[in-house]
């Protein structure tokens, strides 16, 4: 790549919001940026993007576990190869939501319709559902998780726990069991859990949330990964 020019159309490139790509605003071409912030996949940072994460644990043992490494590999793929929330959202819709127990707007939409009454009071103007899952730690059809462009919502019999993306400070990986869980702000009640053993989807959700946070506020503190 010559200077900061698109090699296809000569347009001036801009840095993607995730800071992992340079994007041509004229023809949509994408180019990798210098990979030095991306870490080492076999190292303690598991190759996770240190522009977005403050990595406060050693991931080497976790990466030896099959399901956990699949989940982390998906985060890495989404951040380093896709690089924008829009691309991660498309990847989730087109490649990862293919089973009955997960849904998105337009994909298995019927599942979302079934709980429309519970969801609607919590939806804000401009809010879109990106992932719906109900085969988690919960009973099918009764309790469910929603990831939107604004927040994660965890519906149980007792009510709804919400973590707005902008309020996410830390993500804790619990890999003590064979199925990894990602605890938002360290809380078990707000956990991106296994989504029916779909570890790639789980990782993609973590990447999506992280990208959405930084796309809306590039100057905020990095997310602490523990
Ligand atoms: Zn171009």
Asked if the model's pLDDT at residue 209 lies above 70, the reply is yes
Q: Structure pTM?
A: 0.85
- 215 Cα to the center of ligand 1, angstroms: 21
Domain ranges of the chain: 54-225
Q: How remote is the CA of residue 20 from the centroid of ligand 1, in Å? A: 17
pLDDT tens, residue by residue, 35-50: 656 678 888 999 898 8
Residue 37 confidence (pLDDT): 61
For residue 16, how far is its CA from the centre of ligand 1 (angstroms)? 14
Give the span between the Cα atoms of 109 and 103, in whole angstroms: 6
Task: Tell me the percentage of the chain whose pLDDT exceeds 70.
Answer: 92
The answer to whether the beta carbons of residues 193 and 137 sit under 8 Å apart is yes
What's the gap in Å between 104 CA and the centre of ligand 1?
A: 31
User: From the CA of 94, how far away is ligand 1's center (Å)?
Assistant: 25
pLDDT tens per residue, range 126-152? 999 999 988 655 544 458 899 999 999
Q: How confident is the model at residue 1 (pLDDT cuts 50, 70, 90)?
A: very low
């Amino acid at each position: 790549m010559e200077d900061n020019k698109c090699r296809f159309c000569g347009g001036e490139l801009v840095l993607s919001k995730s800071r992992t790509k340079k994007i041509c605003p004229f023809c949509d071409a994408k180019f990798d940026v210098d990979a030095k912030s991306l870490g080492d996949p076999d190292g303690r940072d598991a190759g996770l993007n240190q522009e977005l994460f403050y990595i406060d644990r050693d991931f080497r043992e976790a990466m030896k576990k099959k399901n956990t490494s699949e989940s982390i590999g998906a985060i890495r793929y989404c951040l380093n190869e896709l690089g924008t929330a829009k691309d991660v959202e498309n990847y989730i819709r087109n490649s990862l939501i293919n089973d009955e127990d997960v849904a998105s707007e337009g994909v298995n939409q019927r599942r979302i319709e079934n709980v429309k009454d519970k969801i609607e009071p919590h939806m804000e103007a401009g809010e879109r559902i990106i992932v719906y899952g109900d085969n988690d730690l919960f009973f099918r059809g009764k309790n469910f998780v929603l990831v939107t462009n604004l927040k994660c919502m965890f519906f149980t019999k007792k009510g709804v726990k919400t973590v707005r993306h902008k309020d996410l400070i830390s993500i804790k990986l619990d890999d003590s069991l064979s199925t990894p869980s990602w605890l938002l702000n360290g809380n078990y009640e707000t956990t991106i859990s296994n989504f029916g053993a779909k570890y790639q989807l789980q990782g993609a959700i973590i990447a999506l949330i992280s990208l959405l946070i930084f796309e809306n506020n590039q100057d905020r503190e990095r997310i602490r990964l523990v």
